[in-house]
Structure 1
Amino acid sequence: MTDPVKPIGQLVKAGRIEKNYTQQQLAELSGISLRSVQRIESGQVSPRRYTLNLLADILETDFSERQPVPEATSNNFSRERRLILSIGLGLLWLLLGLAYVFQSPFFPETAFELMLYIAGFLTTYLVVLWRLWR
């Protein structure tokens, strides 16, 4: 029996060897590339659930019981992506706000109107950032 803490690549490799398949044969049977099989077995990549289920069917085993694969979430942004979005949205928002101010000959008529405009502008931007980063 295999150790439940083994990386998934080692489990795929053990299953492939147990079935006497080469990496090329496993790639052809599964419809994934030879390079993908090699990268999964070496632990360079973690296969998606679909790929893992496909390999499990071919190798007649169940990898999910031994080592669950987390489901990918569409809302899960990396820190780097959030920073890029934050800066990009801020610059875009600033350009749109300035375009509105410069195109209008009568806005703002007073400093108070300008301050209200800036406060609304910043509040909207902060709400967007808060939702992005929570």
Structure 2
Amino acid sequence: MKRTRFWVGVLAAAALLSVGAILLLGRWSGGGHMARIYQNGVLIREIDLDSLSAPLTFTVEFQGRTNTITAQPGRIRVESADCPDQVCVDQGWISDGTVPVVCLPNRLVIQIEGGGDGLDSATG
């Protein structure tokens, strides 16, 4: 009888610790959507998309070519580019880390990190 109480107590304590850890980790890791913009492999700008209150538009230049980037609360896109294929413009808005925006001719990459549950479309 004492053994059963002991193991019930151990399991209850483990369950409480697990729930507490999940709640704490969820609170710390559930940060906002952070857009990171890389040019030629170098981080050039970070934007907290959840803290934006108005649209933000700016231009990035690489070897005489430009990309115009627009960010709004929770999402970001390449609005215009002077690259030949326009793949980055045609991709449109991104709002999670599933697929980055990439402009190969201008060596630009936009990635979003955070704000999600850690699952991508393949696992979700």
Q: Give the TM bin, normalised by the shorter chain.
A: under 0.3
Higher helix share: 1
Tell which structure's C-alpha radius of gyration is larger: 1
Instruction: Compute the TM-score of the two structures, normalised by the length of structure 1.
Output: 0.25
Q: What TM-score do the two structures reach when normalised by structure 2?
A: 0.26
